[in-house]
Amino acid sequence: MKTLTDLSPAEVREAFKESGFPAFRAGQVLKWIYENSVTDFRNMSNLSKSLREELAAKWQIDSLREVKRNSASDGTIKFGFALHDTHIIESVLIPMENGKQTFCISSQVGCAMGCKFCNTARMGMVRNLSPSEIVCQVLYLYREAGLREQHRSFNVVFMGMGEPLANLDNVLKAMRILIDKDGMNLSRRRITVSTCGIVAGIRRLAREEYPPRLAISLNAADDETRLKIMPVTEGNPLSELLDQLRRYPLPQRERFTFEYVLIRDVNDRDKDAASLSRLLNKLRYKINLIPFNPFPGSDYLAPDPVRIEAFQQILFSKNITATIRKSKGQDIQGACGQLAVSVEKELG
**CATH number of domain containing 112:** 3.20.20.70
Residues 108 and 162 in one domain: yes
Residue 306: predicted pLDDT: 96
pLDDT in tens, 89-130: 999 999 887 778 999 999 999 999 999 888 888 888 999 999
Of 36, 60, 84, the residue that ends a domain is 60
Asked if residue 110 and residue 51 are part of one domain, the reply reads: no
Structural domain harbouring 8: 2-60
User: Using CA atoms, how far apart are residues 257 and 322, in angstroms rounded to an integer?
Assistant: 10
Quick check: is 336 catalytic? yes
Whether residue 50 is found in the same domain as residue 76: no
User: Distance between CA atoms of 131 and 129, rounded to whole angstroms?
Assistant: 7
222 and 170 in a common domain: yes
251 and 317 together in one domain:
yes
The pLDDT of residue 327 is: 57
d(CA 267, CA 272): 6
Q: What size, in residues, is the chain?
A: 348
Amino acid, res. 129 = L
pLDDT < 50 regions, the chain: 329, 333-335, 337-338, 343-348
Same domain, yes or no: 124 and 178:
yes
- Whether 148 and 53 map to the same domain: the answer is no
Q: Mark whether 41 and 102 lie in a shared domain.
A: no
Clarify whether residues 208 and 120 are in a common domain.
Answer: yes
Active-site residue, selected from the candidate residues 111, 115, 118, 336? 336
Q: What is the pLDDT of residue 98?
A: 73
Q: State how many domains the chain has.
A: 2
Backbone angles phi, psi at 95, to 5 degrees: -75, 135
Read off the CATH number of the domain in which 30 is found.
1.10.150.530
Same domain, 242 and 199: yes
Q: Distance (Å, rounded) from C-alpha 37 to C-alpha 144?
A: 10
3-state helix, strand, coil split of the chain in percent (to 5) is 40, 20, 40
End-of-domain residue from the set 42, 60, 78: 60
Active-site residue (options: 11, 90, 97, 254): 90
C-alpha pair distances (Å), 160 with each of 91, 103, 121, 229: 6, 9, 11, 19
- 209 with 132, same domain: the answer is yes
Residue 66: active-site member: no
From the number of C-beta atoms within 10 Å of its C-beta (0-12, 13-18, 19+), residue 49 rates as exposed
Provide the sign of the torsion angle of the four alpha carbons 280, 281, 284, 286, taken in this order. Answer: positive
Boundary (domain end) residue, out of 15, 38, 60? 60
Give dist(CA 283, CA 269) in Å, integer. 23
Please indicate, yes or no, whether residues 197 and 155 belong to a single structural domain of this protein.
yes
